[in-house]
Amino acid sequence: MLDRSDPRAAMASYGSAEGRPGATEFAPPDYVAFYDTEPQETAPGARTWYARAQNFIVAYSEVSPGAELSRRGQVDEYALLLRDPATSVEVTTADGTSQVDGYTVSFVPPGDSTIRVTGEGRLVRLFTTRSEDLAARCSNAASYASPHPNVAPLEPWPDPPGGFRLRTYSLDVPPDPSRFGKIFRCTSIMVNYIDPRDGPRDTTKLSPHSHDDFEQVSLVLEGEFVHHIRFPWTSDMSKWIEDDHHRIGAPSITVIPPPSIHTSQAMDPGANQLIDLFSPPRWDFSEKEGWVLNADDYPMPAPTGVGR
């Protein structure tokens, strides 16, 4: 149940699970603390950590000017998040080279592309697991040796009108209490950019809820969080998973599986920031008028019930 002040509280997808078919198999959550591990890839001016969920990959990079991150024959779009205003890049695609400033989210078209760093900092790229070479590099690849139960398959949404090209959106969007975060989507990925919050979260206003058929990846970029995760009980006690209350810092990801009940609690006395990531895009967020800030560029598919 969500606090009434939470803009998600009126959404049917956050309501009671009564009437829904119950899951009988579960996958545990996955935690990857980039700060506790060596990067999976090191190149001049760039150190990159890879971790994954079932449908997509998070590539977190610490970069210096002159570093280049390239993809050749990329099978589908990928996302580029520049959280820090001072981190800037040049992105080269088949259409030419564009300067991309910090504090933006971009969607890079399929095919060949190169990101050349012009301003030091960190950047995050999000790929679908159709990029099999990157999926193999993920530190938690073994967690997905077999597909996880209850996760709907990745079905790309319609191509953008006018075709694929580099599209960049500023994160400098005024807060709106009727909207949850700053949400952007492409054909296969949704980014919900949540602004940093100061101090620990009010424990009387947590937001325990569940998702039927998609994973949520929470990317911590600043501070510390405790992810509280609880699974349903079934008649088969051997399938039960203990409640989890895992504390994790920045940078890290937590993969929250369906249909677990979950909420995240900011802990640091200073700034705390996590960003929620999904693949494919979420129907429930997309159906809320005005929530997806680039909805005109990426149309929704016809309703089918899958991934909703």
- 115 and 90 Cβ atoms separated by less than 8 Å: yes
Give one DSSP letter per residue of 285-306, joined into a string.
HHTSTTTBTTTTTSPPPPP-ST
- Assess if residue 236 is contained within a domain: yes
- The range of the structural domain enclosing residue 120 comes to 12-173+182-286
Please tell me the predicted confidence (pLDDT) of residue 19: 46
Q: Identify whether 1 is part of a domain.
A: no
Task: Please report, for the domain that includes residue 238, its CATH number.
Answer: 2.60.120.10
Bridging pattern class, strands 30-33 and 252-256: antiparallel
Confidence of residue 307 (pLDDT cuts 50, 70, 90): very low
Residues shown for the chain: 308
Reported confidence tier of residue 123, pLDDT bands at 50, 70, 90:
very high
Q: How many domains does the chain have?
A: 1
In a domain, residue 7? The reply is no
Alpha-carbon distances of 273 from 97, 198, 245, 257, 269, rounded to whole Å: 31, 9, 18, 21, 12
> What pTM was estimated for this model as a whole?
0.92
Query: Would you say residue 151 lies in a domain?
Result: yes
pLDDT per residue over 67-91, tens digit each? 999 999 999 999 999 999 999 999 9
Amino acid type, 32: V
Q: What is the pLDDT of residues 217-273, one digit of tens each?
A: 999 999 999 999 999 999 999 999 999 999 999 999 999 999 999 999 999 999 999
* Within-domain flag for 31: yes
- Average pLDDT of the residues in 126-138: 98
